Each structure stands twice: as C-alpha cells, then as structure tokens.
Amino acid sequence: MQTLSRSVARGALGKAPLPAPFLSWKAQGVNFRPASVSMVAGIPGSHKTRIVQNALINMRTPTLAFSTDSDQDTIASRLLAISQRVSTETTETWLRTEPEKCKQILSAYDFIRWEFKPDPSLDDIWLSAYAYHETEGRWPQQIVVDIASDVGHDTGDEWGSLRDLMRQSKVLARETEAHVLLVHHCADSSGTKKPCPRRSDIHGKVAAIPEVIVTCGVDASGGLYVAPVKNRHAKASADAEIRIPMTLDAATSYVGDFESQPHAYAGNGWSEGGW
C-alpha cells in the first residue's frame, strides 16, 4: 500500500508523455504516456503499419517492437525508404546490392529492437521484455505489437485471446512503466465508417483498456486521415468526428504531418550521394 503524497515526493507520479509521434497529433492532445496502453486501428490497407513505423522514427524512443505482419526485409526496406525518401522498390534492390551502406543507414534506428515471430504468445512477449532488460539494463520505454490479433491464438478463441492480450498489456505497461502500443484491425464492412472507423468498429470490442485509440483510413481521393476515438487526457470523438489529415507517400512508406504540396520522392538518389 502507498499514499499518493509519498509517491509524488519520490517522483513516482507526474511522468511526462513520450516524444510526440507527430506534431499534429500533439496539437490535438494525442500523446503516448509511460505505463499506459494505446492502440492504432484500421481496416486492411489503411496504412496503420506505415503510420506506426513513421511514429517510431519521429519519437526516437527505446522500443521493443513485435512485427508479426511484416518480415525483416519489408521493415528494412521501408525504414531505408522513409529515411532517404526513395521508393521501396529501390531500397529492396539496395538490400541485395549495397548491404554495408544499408547497415550504415539502418544503424540510426538501432533504438528499436525487433522481434519477427509471426505468432508470438503472451509468454513470448514477456520473455522478450525480460531479455531486453537483461541486455540493456533497463526496460524499453515503448513496446509495440503489430498486429494484436496475431498474438496468443493457441486456444482457438480469437476474441478471448484479444481480451487476454489487453489485460496482459496493462500489466506489462504497469510493471515495466513502458508505453504499450497495439496495432489492431477494424471491421471491414459496409457499416464501417470511412475514412476513419468509429470506436465501435474495432474488432473484438476491446476498447476498454487503451487510454488512447487512434483509427485511420483513406478517403476516396487517396487522402490519409487519423481520428482520436478515445483519449483519456484530451478531447476525442467515439464516432471519429475529429479527423487529422496526414501526408502519405506510399511509394516511400512516408507518413507525416499534413503538407498541402508534399515533396515527391527522389527516385534513385543513392548514386548521387543521397544515402
């Protein structure tokens, strides 16, 4: 047992949010916080993984990331493309032909430790967190699971497994004081709100535990939007009425704050010293 006054005195309360994933999110009060759970959700093809990858780059926070949906080559080519603003088609070639230069560029993102098992269990997540602590001498400041529905399906009950993941994510966040970010699916049906799904559109009805939930989607003209549908610390709209426009360059996997005239990617700038 403890008193709040003693907790404040020893600095156990009042921790600042993590660095902003995007400035436009911060302006809307969308911040990720230590010892809490957040979620980014969308229908298939809504660029949710690209959004999270760019957010991680912007935050530059020591992170343990579980990538169940994308393998090492995909992640590496995307990080190279984002950093150099060239197409992933180009960076896939670089990985085969210029490994040393790729290594040099990718070393800038070594604050992220990756796990690529396609179907990790809850035990795998905990053991990886313990291994991170053993290796680094501290817990990660952020733990990412992309995609949440790929975790812990050995029971055969997807919804029950999701509920277990939510509960364990809260325990993991509290015990490690890390921010736990889950990437999840929304229902893809005629009743799903577009471009950004409502909170009620999230698969499995698992919106109770995350403190922040952002849904994402693309409109008919190809514009990318995100919507804070839950936020315990600022204004949100469960019906996705608050929409934040984003800049998307799918060829380079870049997602950023909205620009009225986003820069086109550079093509193959490698030979010109663009790496």
The DSSP secondary structure of 9-24, one letter per residue, reads: HTT-S-PPPPPPS-HH
- d(CA 205, CA 186) in angstroms, rounded, equals 10
Instruction: Please check whether residue 121 lies inside any domain of the structure.
Output: yes
Angle at 217 between CA 235 and CA 119, to 5 degrees: 100
Instruction: Please check whether residue 139 lies inside any domain of the structure.
Output: yes
pLDDT tens track for 247-274:
999 999 999 999 865 555 544 444 334 4
Instruction: Please check whether residue 60 lies inside any domain of the structure.
Output: yes
Q: Tell me the pLDDT band of 22, cut-offs 50, 70 and 90.
A: very high
What is the extent of the structural domain holding 139?
A: 16-259
Instruction: Please check whether residue 30 lies inside any domain of the structure.
Output: yes
**In the chain, how many domains are there?**
1
Instruction: Please check whether residue 269 lies inside any domain of the structure.
Output: no
Instruction: Please check whether residue 34 lies inside any domain of the structure.
Output: yes
Q: What is the CATH number of the domain that holds 141?
A: 3.40.50.300
Instruction: Please check whether residue 2 lies inside any domain of the structure.
Output: no
Query: For 202, which DSSP code?
Result: B
Tokens, residue 11: 């600095």
Kindly state the average pLDDT of the residues 145-164: 82
Instruction: Please check whether residue 11 lies inside any domain of the structure.
Output: no
- d(CA 88, CA 78) in angstroms, rounded, equals 6
The position carrying tokens 């426009």 is 245
SS3 content of the chain, % helix, strand, coil (to 5): 35, 20, 45
- d(CA 107, CA 239) in angstroms, rounded, equals 41
- d(CA 238, CA 201) in angstroms, rounded, equals 10
Angle at 197 between CA 194 and CA 198, to 5 degrees: 125
According to the model, what pLDDT value does residue 272 have? 37
